[in-house]
Structure 1
């Protein structure tokens, strides 16, 4: 039983969380649009409830000192502080454990689709000369699983994008709102999962295992923040002391290879872009936040001409992304990172200079999504 199981909550706490999640789920269940944080705040302001504190007290797993932003998992997707009124707040599949209406509309159908994805991956054709990829397509999904509601199929790609233990590649949305994405080996970890409870338990297990690599060398595990914090140190578990892995790459290595391949057939010269990305990966794995911030800014300054614009601000405002809402949100967050990058490169020395850390960098998924869009254009 994971920390996110409602069974570990008191009746009063469960009711409080259920009420909070219901306010978030309402607009999405009615229209398919997640609410803005300012609207959620306004709802609870009327009842004199500090919803910001309530959000921070929601149970989460896989978070600890040194862990990157959005590494954990909870009933909502991670939101970077300070949260703005125009920030979108989303629920995860885990919220289905608390909200019966979410379970019926999202949780149970999601688990059925996950098993379908596992079968598609297992049945994909194999070529001796290239790596083949199974694809999940909304049109085919409607035929293969006719009991799924069209509204669920429409939003499924967005749900998958925010489930941390499932990685998907090359998500594309077409003009008729249909979509397709590549299925990766990550789904194989969920073999045998048949219920929402099993899915959430497995996701928590994967998230907690992954986050260990980001924790300080003398801290191996931190439990969910809503419970008593238990820290396992090397002294407590000497056999695990050497299990802390290196930080992974910032830019997906498969994506880098695909950019290099596409660049060889394009009139755009891609050599500087690849060099910037590889240097970014090197500095990210070794934990150099100032170099990473500068390199992220350099990438964003370098790529706008491929999108047909002069700067990244124009790309964010005017480009129509394949996954319109999700990738546009990624681009907007990257554009907002300009202030931190400017701080890194232009703030002069003084008696009081704020320190930039690895947690101040944008989540890797954001730049990977923008580069995936660039790859589609190059092709």
Structure 2
């Protein structure tokens, strides 16, 4: 028996096509153990913050590889394009034309029901609120492309979830260098001094000074005989960043 899978996660939707029973079991095992990712055929697949998984049989007897099946569906014009055309996939309405939905036969537990031990990073909250990212995705502005800003926010969440605290200030620095044109400014410093009310300016100035200095120390400080790595407290600019993102959304709705 061959199977076609559709998986939706926090980062997007994708397929795993034309797999056999053994490979399907590997996916089910990863799901049951609550793994953030797994490898299949030398390729890494993401399960981080999974929203749904559906499993379909492929009942046709025609010999067909995963690439051949995808190309066939693409030629028929039945491919679904993801956000900003960054990704594409074959959705349920197409998969069910070639087989039966057998999800309930294989998915019988909640995600991570059989995980062996609790990963302390599993319960870490998002650095950038998921609702903020969803609001950014809904913006439709002709003059600006929000793809990079959204990707930077997603990478912040991944870095925070993985305890990559050296990376977080660098990503924040990238964001504050990226957004000034959204406020008709050329630099973030200029924005801090001339945009919005006094409270907003003070919050942005705190974000500018603290996050940039911390990022610069990580980027430019030469190796020393002793080092101390940052923790989540040192790189916590969640509130200031949320104020910035909420203002971007307010202005460009």
Q: TM-score, normalised by structure 2?
A: 0.49
Greater strand fraction, Structure 1 or Structure 2: 2
Greater helix fraction, Structure 1 or Structure 2: 1
Q: TM-score, normalised by structure 1?
A: 0.34
